Amino acid sequence: MDLEQQFHEITQLIRAAKYQALKSVNVELINLYWQVGEYISTKVESAEWGTGVVNQLALYLRRTQQDLKGFSDKNLWRMKQFYETYRLSEKLSPLVRELSWTNNLLILSKTKTLEEKEFYLKLSLKENYSKRELVRQIDSGFYERALLSGAKVSPVVTHLHPDISAVFKDTYVLDFLDLPHSHTEKELQEAIIQNLKHFILEFGKDFTFVGEEYRIQVGNNDYFIDLLFFHRDLRCLVALELKIDDFKPEYLGKLNFYLEALDRDVKKGHENPSVGVILCKSKDNEVVEYALSRTLSPALVAEYQTKLIDKKLLQQKFHELFQLSVEELG
């Protein structure tokens, strides 16, 4: 092993130690906010303290503990709300200790139900979201989109990856591409490459970009896959074909051909069979279901939106679906 490799290993050890130290500090900080929130909640519930006492506490801390930050009256009330929201949930209370206080406050303030909070807590931990990334996912109605419908997949995909619905969505919001309503496939592809970081954030951070117009050679002919990714958790190549119109069954034929070529000539021995995604501007779900039911390839069909979906509309659709489910059970 050369010196540079040895130095690299030392660097990795330092980074790992720093990460663990920061993680420990964050856990202790969240524990502190939890304990302060619990103390205030207990005093208020027992009627020992009123609003004025909490304000007095904030002034006292500011006067006597000048090195302490983040203990304003607003934050003290947030700590109380934080504790009261999660205190009865054995499942969620450990999760909140793994997130930053900033992300915890975002989820606390921008979500309504415990189910929605759980969804974003787990998502934030899985994807390691920054504040900005988390805000975008909440504002884009990720929770509602995930519940309304999963990606339309072929039976082969479900067999290979039973939890595939947790990886792919039915609809992707690509508002960051700033595309006009009328655009070409080439413009769509170029915009994705120029905004690759945001695109991977929307798809999921387990996706690693391999290449655009990825060339595969079969016989004496060259063919080009629009975008090629690798998914770390699924351990497979993901071929992405872009379509700016409604889904058509014949699109699957070309995708199947690409997947066969990838598995024969590109896939490594330890990797799983490649998965293909057709990303369309729109789709008829019944047509998609018919087309996918007989295909022998691990394929999916999803659609994209170039504008941020109205979250209120998503919530309305979700409530309508929930009400329909209740009526069917009744």
Considering the domain architecture, whether residues 137 and 38 belong to the same structural domain is answered as yes
- Which amino acid, one-letter code, is at 287? V
Per-residue confidence (pLDDT) for residue 111, from 0 to 100: 92
For 40-97, write each residue's pLDDT tens digit: 999 999 889 988 999 999 999 888 887 778 899 999 999 999 999 999 998 999 999 9
Q: Mapping DSSP to helix (H, G, I), strand (E, B) and coil, where does residue 317 land?
A: helix
| The total number of structural domains that make up the chain | 2
Residue 204 placed within a domain: yes
- Measured from the Cβ of residue 118, the count of other Cβ atoms closer than 10 Å reads 18
**With left for phi above 0 and alpha for psi between -120 and 50, is residue 213 left, alpha or beta?**
left
Contact 247, 283 (CB under 8 A): yes
Q: Are 237 and 275 in contact (CB under 8 A)?
A: yes
Same domain, yes or no: 77 and 169:
no
Is residue 320, in this structure, part of any structural domain at all? no
CATH of residue 262: 3.40.1350.10
Mean pLDDT estimate for the chain: 87
**113 or 9, which is more confident:** 113
Coil, helix or strand at residue 10 = helix
> Is residue 330 in a domain?
no
Range of the domain at 135: 3-144
What percentage of the chain has pLDDT greater than the value 90? 57
**pTM value surpassing 0.75:** no
**One domain for residues 100 and 208:** no
Q: Is the dihedral of CA 71, 119, 282, 244 positive or negative?
A: positive
Compute the distance between CA of residue 81 and CA of residue 60 in angstroms, rounded to an integer.
21
Residue 137 pLDDT > 50, yes or no?
yes
Residues 210 and 300 placed together within one structural domain of the fold:
yes
How many Cβ atoms are within 10 Å of 166's Cβ, its own excluded?
Answer: 13
pLDDT of residue 326: 44
Whether residues 137 and 151 share a domain: the answer is: no
Residues 139 and 180 in one domain: no
If asked whether residues 224 and 107 sit together in one domain, one would say: no
What is the structure's pLDDT at 212? 96
Q: pLDDT per residue over 213-260, tens digit each?
A: 999 999 999 999 999 999 999 999 999 999 999 999 999 999 999 999
CB 54 within 8 A of CB 11: no
Helix or strand holding residue 37 (H, E):
helix 3-45
Say yes or no: 173 and 89 in one domain: no
Whether 143 shows a pLDDT value over 50: the answer reads: yes
Q: Write down the pLDDT at residue 328.
A: 46
What integer pLDDT is reported at residue 312 of this predicted model? Answer: 66
Tell me, yes or no, whether 261 and 286 share the same domain: yes
Tell me: do 140 and 151 sit in the same domain: no
